[in-house]
Chain A
Amino acid sequence: MAKIILLFLKLLGVLYTAQAVFEDQVGKFDWKQQYVGSVRFAHFDNQIQSSKKVLVATEKNVFAAINTRTGELFWRHVDKAGPEGNIDALLLQGQDAVMVVGDGRILRSWEVNVGGLNWEMVLDSGSFQSASLVGHQEHVKYVAVLKKAAISLHYLSNGHQKWIENLPESDSVDYQSVYSEGKGEVFVLGLVPHSHITVVVYSIDDGEILKQFTVEAPWMSDLQSSCSVIGKGMLTCVDASSLSLNMLDLHAHSEMNQIPLQSIGLEASSSFRPVLVSSQPNAARPPLSEFFLQIGPDQHVLLQLNNGQILTLRDFKPAMLVSFATTGEKTVAAVMSPKNKTASSINLFSAETGRRLLDTTLIFTMDPNGGNPERLYVQAFLKKDDSVGYRVIVQTEDHQLTYIQQPGRVLWTREEALSDVVTMEMVDLPLTATQAELEGEFGKKADGLMSMVLKRLSSQLILLQAWVSHLWKLFYDARQPRSQVKNEVTIENLSRDEFNLQKMMVMVTASGKLFGIDSKTGTIVWKHYLDNVPSNAAFKLMVQRTTAHFPHPPQCTLLIKDKDTGLAMLHVFNPIYGKKSHVTPPLLPQPILQSMLLPLMDQDYAKVLLLVDNQYKVSAFPSTKNVLQQLQDVASSVFFFLIDADQGRLSGYRLRTDLSTELIWEVVIPAEVQKIVTVNGKKANEHVHSQGRVMGDRSVLYKYLNPNLLALVTESTDQHQERSFVGIILIDGVTGRIIHEAVQRKARGPVHIVHSENWVVYEYWSTKSRRVEFSVIELYEGMELYNSTVFSSLDRPHAPQVLQQSYIFPSAISAMDATLTEKGITSRHLLIGLPSGGILSLPKMFLDPRRPEIVSEQSREENLIPYAPELPIRTEWFINYNQSVSRVRGIYTAPSGLESTCLVVAYGLDIYQTRVYPSKQFDVLKDDYDYMLISSVLLALFFATMISKRLAEVKLLNRAWR
């Protein structure tokens, strides 16, 4: 028996290897884009002049090296998401990058060239305050980490702790920064807010407290934001209330020396909080004695500290951003100032004198659809004639990085907003003008036989012309070397291909930037930054009008909802061009509870969007008379549900003709026992081809295809591993009838669920066996169909048969979805994003509750795989081969024009787009189809017949003569 099963499995293995990727398909129709997230720290690697690395640490807990020539990544290290992987500080010293991670929990050092780890140290607990490189005798050998109650010094070479000392009076004093200038001392600066500053001086050698003193500073509330050490140990603080600079010599502990800003000729508005910008190019030496003081939103002053006196070197107004950069012994200041509305200029100034350096102007052109510049990272280098040259990275509010060289040539841009895609849709591309013309012929009413014929002929002519030009282009391209052929994607040449495989990916990111990406090449066709998006917004993207309704433009609507207040707004735009639509969306003064897209269309073919506010009033968009009329007609058949996860309440409502609502059912799940995690309906664009399954004995088992079915997942509030459970409830959204309920004991989330056709697949963590388990529920009507023509939730007297089976999955998963095809004929696969970065395409066949434990003749007839507890993971099933996708957050599937083909986009930190063929390419010739062989065989046969015919003739003639 076992042997038979094994044989059968082997056979299946043979059958299923065919769905894998072939090596020659690499990069043919798939692409990957790698992102790092919004940059928090960036350092240019300037240990050697020719280095082309910039090291970035980001909000997404990623540490990466970007190639400054191309903007691609050299390497990238993705740490754990959440606060435990949070990068608190990044310090660069030579080839080593030192990082403090997880609120001062871990100290890491990276080798910058290879991207490998040098060492990793666990630090004592305590919240992180500051970290600094410490130099001694012209060499930087240590790193100091300041925590809430302790300071520790570590060797840079191996991370070992040199010493750790408790800070005196740490419960009252708030120690915030650490400073050293390479003289064998480490200064720790602490503050008792609105009282005094505490300075503790430690010896580098053994951590002994050399000095300790306090200075009165009753006005100060925060040290880190208002103070900075300048020159040879001069602590300089800016007081926003009295508008003065306060200086304290750390070596000679005296009183604070107050210098009003007016006395050095500066006028500052009291509403703005001044900011200090200083620079310490080398940790073994004191910081520069020059510093910037920002005294207004667009005013910076370059000041110099000279023998205790403050001199104004230069006043920059207007100036948005300033930054210091050092190369060799020279330090320069880069200042960005607005030039006109769309561009700003960056200039270099000598830090010592404030003199403008010649020929250093760089123009940064701002994207009208982007955000304002936020930060400036300057890479300075010495040219051959010893003058300073530079390139800059400008970071804008929409997380875009632009690398520019003089005089304004953009070398690359990185759209880091795409590291946080929240939701997306794929929209068909529009037809070209000629195609539209041809389509128009069929749409118009007949106007006489003759004109119809003429029109037909003319359109055929147009087609011929297009074909000839296409051939000519092919010929022309073939003569050119491959590298010179550029297939640039622009809005103008975007058009639908014959199988509708190329689409527009509309992506919504958490930062509020919208992107339109061509699915074939991954080119960003348009981008649009919405600057009024709240930081904790939830997004819902809906396609109201597709491209099928020429000449009406396609229309997408984005619902942006503030999660705290529930207040929402609508952004209506054209998904192909990204332009904001002329249609003015309604203002939504009330918090929105639910939104739904009805299949109804207004006279302009836009689907109707219904929004339910917290007064249970329904508003429609668009809300023309025609729409309202239609709504009145269908109101009795419009049902919707609302979820209140806090109260554990799921309630069903019905629309009345006056657009008010009526509660018809309510399901309460006791919130103190279990909480609702997700409610999952079916996809609206899903088609089911076959109504049933043919059994081994030739009878039909009909599927229970309820389009109103909701799958509700609950998790227990009790997290104890013996008592925790995961519940799943299948509920009819119209009647509120509970179709099925299942509980998985000793299980906990996170639960991933896919609900499609007549099945629900969900995944959970089994706390008892410490493994991931899959469970599948399938619903069947039985051997007879109650009403085969139409499904009505109100008239379905028989409860469906429920089959369920569970399996072990040998990996954790991060996202899951199912393939989707045009007509639903192709077999389904589950697409599972794994933490390892692979996207597994698992045939649904393996998750079939009818898999038998004992193989019979009938089950073999049905092609059922014998039950095995463990689901296989084969690397051949990875649709993204070695193109790992980090932290997959969602998988989007869309049907293409070919029934066999499903378009897949996996998004997370990276974006990966490909096509999958769950049942192989049965409707097109395979791409390895051997045209040469078939034509040569045909030709050979043709010639063979010709020759044999001739030979036969000769033979006949000879015989006749005999």
Chain B
Amino acid sequence: MLFRERIPLLWLLVQATLVVTWCFNAEMETGPSAGVFAQSNSDRFKIEGRAIVPGFKPQDWVFSARVLVEGEEYVGFLRTDGSFAVNDIPPGSYVVEIISPTFRFDPVRVDITSKGKMRARLVNYIKTSEVIRQPYPLQVRASGPHSYFVKRETWGWTDFLMNPMVMMMVLPLLIIVLLPKVVNTNDPEMRKEMEQSMNMLNPNPELPDVSELMTKLFSGSKGSSKTGASSKGTRPAVKRR
């Protein structure tokens, strides 16, 4: 009961936050245009943050990395501890990316109001007004190394053997070669037993024979034609009964 009551409350809260973000957005829209008209040097701000590559020291990668704000409109560099600050940015909304040839970082959208209020959110190019907050000052974690290469299709025995065509070829072959050796067909008792088991397998004589189907299917291939031949050999025995 208590739980049920909580849900509308939560919903209200969500709505409230939505309204708040909406207000923020409205402020945002006026931000850049104000920047266009009154562009003095005083209302310029800086975007700060830190880039982290788990498991690597900053010295190993910072020299090849850069911070790009909105393409190459503003450029920042990484300090030797992985932190960065991009200076001299007028109010507006910008996509901040950390560029490294080895590690992948997700871009973040940073909004700066004309008063210098900062906000970071996830980049969503389709729903541009959607707000999923990110921490500010930015904390950008590398999501792993870039995968530039595709694995070559390597050839292995298992791939070859597990191929269905090969399985279909090899298994009947094995049966043909090995069965006569294992089972002594000349023994009359054995033959009787086999006939019985065949009957067990094929209780309804009206149904089409599996082996016959196989012959039809693989009449071209050598191995299966042999299976066909061998099954033909057993068929008269069935009729004889």
Contacts and interface: CB of A to CB of B under 8 A. Distances in A.
A, B in one complex: yes
A875 B104 contact: yes
Contact of A78 (B36, B66, B101, B150): B66
B26 to A, nearest CB: 15
A881 B59 contact: no
A116 B63 contact: yes
Nearest to A102: B88
Contacts of B75: 78-80, 85
B33 A20 contact: no
Interface string B137-181: 000000000111111100100000000000000000000000000
Contacts of B74: 80
Contact of A933 (B64, B102, B155): B155
Given A81-B72, A875-B147, A882 B102 contact: yes
A884 interface: yes
A770 B93 contact: yes
Interface in A754-792: 769-771
A122 B87 contact: yes
Contact of B125 (A17, A118, A870, A884): A870
B70 A812 contact: yes
A354 B42 CA distance: 54
Contacts of A102: 88
A810 B124 CA distance: 9
Interface stretch (A21-29, A212-220, A284-292, A368-376): A21-29
Contacts of B68: 835-836
Interface in B72-125: 72-80, 84-85, 87-88, 93, 97, 99, 101-102, 104, 123, 125
A105 interface: yes
Contacts of A24: 152
B88 A105 contact: yes
A119 B88 CA distance: 15
A353 interface: no
A117 interface: yes
Most A CB contacts (10 A, CB to CB) among B70, B74, B80, B93 go to: B80
A272 to B, nearest CB: 42
B148 A122 contact: no
A951 to B, nearest CB: 13
Interface string A83-125: 0110000000000000000100110100100111111101001
B46 interface: yes
Interface string A809-851: 0111110000000000000000000011100000000000000
A928 interface: yes
Contact of B150 (A20, A810, A835): A20
A116 B102 contact: no
A876 B149 CA distance: 6
B126 A869 contact: yes
Nearest to B79: A117
Contact of A21 (B46, B88, B126, B150): B150
Interface string B39-60: 0010010100000000000110
A118 B149 contact: no
- What does DSSP make chain B's interface, helix, strand, loop or mixed? mixed
Contacts of A883: 101
Contacts of B131: none
A213 B117 CA distance: 47
Contact of A118 (B80, B128, B148): B80
Contacts of B41: 125
B228 interface: no
Interface residues on B, range: 35 or more
Contacts of A870: 125-126
A878 interface: yes
Interface in A455-486: none
A633 interface: no
A18 interface: yes
Nearest to B123: A810
B150 A876 contact: yes
Interface string A532-551: 00000000000000000000
Interface in A917-935: 928, 930, 933
Contacts of B123: 810
A116 B62 contact: yes
Contacts of B125: 769, 771, 808, 810, 870
A225 interface: no
A801 interface: no
Contacts of B63: 75, 77, 114-116
A693 interface: no
Interface in B182-212: none
B155 A836 contact: no
B95 to A, nearest CB: 8
Interface centre among B68, B87, B151 (most CB of A within 10 A): B87
Given A17-B150, A930-B155, A814 B87 contact: no
Given A122-B88, A721-B33, A881-B148, A116 B126 contact: no
A153 to B, nearest CB: 20
Contacts of A812: 70-72
A808 B59 CA distance: 36
A878 B72 contact: no
Nearest to B75: A80
Nearest to A106: B87
A18 B88 CA distance: 43
Nearest to B59: A114
A24 B93 CA distance: 42
Nearest to B87: A122
B28 to A, nearest CB: 10
A811 B106 CA distance: 12
A139 interface: no
B77 A117 contact: yes
Nearest to A110: B77
A337 B114 CA distance: 60
A17 B151 CA distance: 10
B79 A116 contact: yes
A126 to B, nearest CB: 10
B101 A884 contact: yes
A550 B84 CA distance: 60
A579 interface: no
Contacts of B66: 77-78
B104 A114 contact: no
B149 A22 contact: yes
Interface string B3-20: 000000000000000000
Interface centre among B32, B72, B87 (most CB of A within 10 A): B72
Given A114-B62, A836-B99, A119 B128 contact: no
Interface string A858-902: 000000000001100001101001111001000000000000000
A683 interface: no
Given A122-B46, A837-B99, A870-B125, A116 B78 contact: yes
Contact of B101 (A120, A814, A837): A837
Contact of B149 (A84, A117, A836, A881): A881
A720 interface: yes
A114 to B, nearest CB: 5
A77 B150 contact: no
A26 B41 CA distance: 47
A835 B93 CA distance: 18
A75 B80 contact: no
Contacts of B78: 116-117
A168 to B, nearest CB: 23
Contacts of A887: 72
Contact of A120 (B80, B87, B148): B87
Most chain A Cβ neighbours within 10 Å, of B46, B70, B76, B77: B77
> Which 7 A-B pairs have CB atoms at the shortest separation, nearest pair first?
A812-B71, A115-B63, A116-B80, A881-B148, A23-B149, A75-B63, A882-B101
18 contacts: A21-B150, A77-B63, A77-B66, A79-B75, A105-B88, A116-B78, A117-B62, A125-B41, A719-B36, A769-B128, A771-B128, A808-B126, A812-B72, A836-B97, A875-B146, A876-B148, A881-B148, A882-B148
Given A117-B77, A769-B125, A882-B101, 4 more contacts: A20-B150, A78-B66, A111-B80, A115-B63
